[in-house]
Structure 1
Amino acid sequence: MTDDEIATAAERFHEDVSHQFQVSLTMSMETRERLRAIQDELNDCLEEQTVNTNDVMRIALLSAARYHALATGDLGDLEAIDEERLVPLTAPVRDVLDEEGVFDG
């Protein structure tokens, strides 16, 4: 993924989702640090820092839902947004988790 693809997807994602509904979450320090690393990775691709923690949480939840659709073969739920926006947004997530060795078995 190029920085331009990630930046375009992140900006659209940030603008498309209403920010009037926010939820306070309690999470472990490890999770908080991972979310911050993902947020920093995404913002590094942008000219200005646009991505916030709420965006990162929505990306994670949307990605999990899309992964479930792929894993169960329910491909009817997948839309163009997956390739146009979600794929570029999840590339930095994968990069952060790869650096931490999360996928090492």
Structure 2
Amino acid sequence: MDRGLHATRSASPARERAAFTAWQVRALRPAAPAAYPFDETAAAERSGRAFDRGYDPLGIQGQDLSVLATGDRTERPRSLWVPVLVAHGTADIGKLVGQLPCLRTALA
């Protein structure tokens, strides 16, 4: 996981809706496509709805720890022989590859 993105995600959010929403907006901004302006209001609304559905801080930490614990998985997919389609826009692929390990693995 990108250490800068991980630092943003792993900061301890408060258990209140407003604090969670602000934390999520800060975490989502770096992954926003460069070709489009970041809609902070829409991101805050989506984050608030996610909080309302059932926010669990330990669940987020567990997910992040699982990603870190698995290590580099770049070589393993090369041994798979299955049809795969990875489709993404060309405008933001460069920005995302630097931040999302799953895309780096998919493109390896």
TM-score surpassing 0.5?
A: no
Quick check: which one's helix share is greater? 1
Larger Rg: 2
TM-score by length of 1: 0.28
